[in-house]
Amino acid sequence: MKAVHFSTGGPLGLVDWEDPVPGIGEVLVKVRATALNRADLLQVKGLYPPPPGESELLGLEISGEVVATGPGAHRWKKGDRVCALLAGGGYAELVAVHEDMLMPIPDNLSFEQAAAIPEVFLTAYQVLVYLAKVQKGQRVLIHAGASGVGTAAIQMVRKIGAQCMVTASAGKHERCLRLGADRAVDYNKEDFEEEVLEWTSGEGVEVIVDVIGGSYLPKNLRCLHTDGRLIQLAFMGGALVDGIDLGLILRKRLHLMGSTLRARTLGYKVQLTNDFMRDYWDLFAAGELVPVIDSVYNWREAEAAHEYMASNKNQGKIILVIDGV
């Protein structure tokens, strides 16, 4: 098969690569689309190696068609349209995936749209439902609201019956508000701490989903309600922080949680996928949840797509279409 390969820091380009062989319980999928994740950018820089035993190719999610089944795999047949979260290997013509990780693509969604679902919606589900246990009526602050993860989280918060405020550059507010955010803050001009406290009449929010970290952490702690939960998913603004008042964590009984997805066990990811499908999958067919796509590139333009993501201009997902070569 062909696949997108890179040498550390080097440009992305198509190369010949060994076909994956579906193992026990696995299904071979002909990839029709994949989507970019920030992790891909880090992996190219040599900063985010794949977990042991996983493909060294980029690509944490795909959509495509089943072309073969491995021993013991019985849930899918040739031609089924599916999408899935991967630990790697999505920037390729073929990928072997455990059959229990596959999700059937609703008829109303294209391959491009389906490739925009797995990573961000499973992350949002894990964060909001498993970890933060967001309840109806609660208030959630989502940093980088127009990011892939943010656009999925806004929609799921609304479905739970909670409210959310987002931080994002001003030009991205309209998208966030249309998806269901109650309020958007331009973090370049406004102080999100002041805005949160005004929005919540000084009470603070029950949950914060943060991918920025750095200088946001002390403010996040001050913005949380008693028993509030902060879920740290990334630290695009820095990993080391000064000025933390541990007294706040104690007095407000705060929960600080970190989370990752890629390195989780297969069993955990299967459970997550099943729970997400049980609770939310029908909403995609009903048009009540939508994959948010910023732009679509051909996979020969993977390098340009990576540069675009690095420029922080996207609102939602950047898709790579994998066509035959």
Which residues form the interface with ligand NAP (CB under 6 A)?
A: 37-39, 119-120, 123, 144, 146-149, 168-169, 172, 211-212, 233-234, 236-237, 259-261, 309, 312, 314
Residue 157 or 211: which CB sits closer to ligand NAP? Answer: 211
Q: How far apart are CA 311 and CA 313, in angstroms?
A: 6
Please identify, using beta-carbon distances, which residue of 4 and 305 lies nearer to ligand NAP.
305
Measured on CA atoms in the order 276, 278, 283, 284, is the torsion positive or negative? positive
Looking at the Cβ atoms of 222 and 262, the one nearer to ligand NAP is 262
Place of tokens 């939602």: 316
The closest residue (CB) to ligand NAP is 147
Taking the complex as a whole, how short is the minimal distance between the CB of residue 294 and ligand NAP, in angstroms?
8
> Kind of pairing, strands 2-5 and 293-298?
unpaired
User: Looking at beta carbons only, is 37 or 113 nearer to ligand NAP?
Assistant: 37
Residue type, 143: H
Query: How far is the C-alpha of 33 from the C-alpha of 298, rounded, in Å?
Result: 9
Minimum CB–partner distance for residue 238 and ligand NAP (Å): 8
Distance of closest approach, residue 113 Cβ to ligand NAP, in angstroms: 16
Residues paired with residue 155 on neighbouring β-strands, in sequence order: none
Give the up-direction half-sphere exposure of residue 266: CA atoms within 13 A in the CB hemisphere: 12
Question: What six digits make up the tokens of 173?
Answer: 């507010």
DSSP 139: E
The least CB distance from residue 65 to ligand NAP, in Å, is 25
- State in angstroms the smallest separation of the CB of 118 from ligand NAP: 10
Cβ proximity to ligand NAP: between 70 and 237 the closer is 237
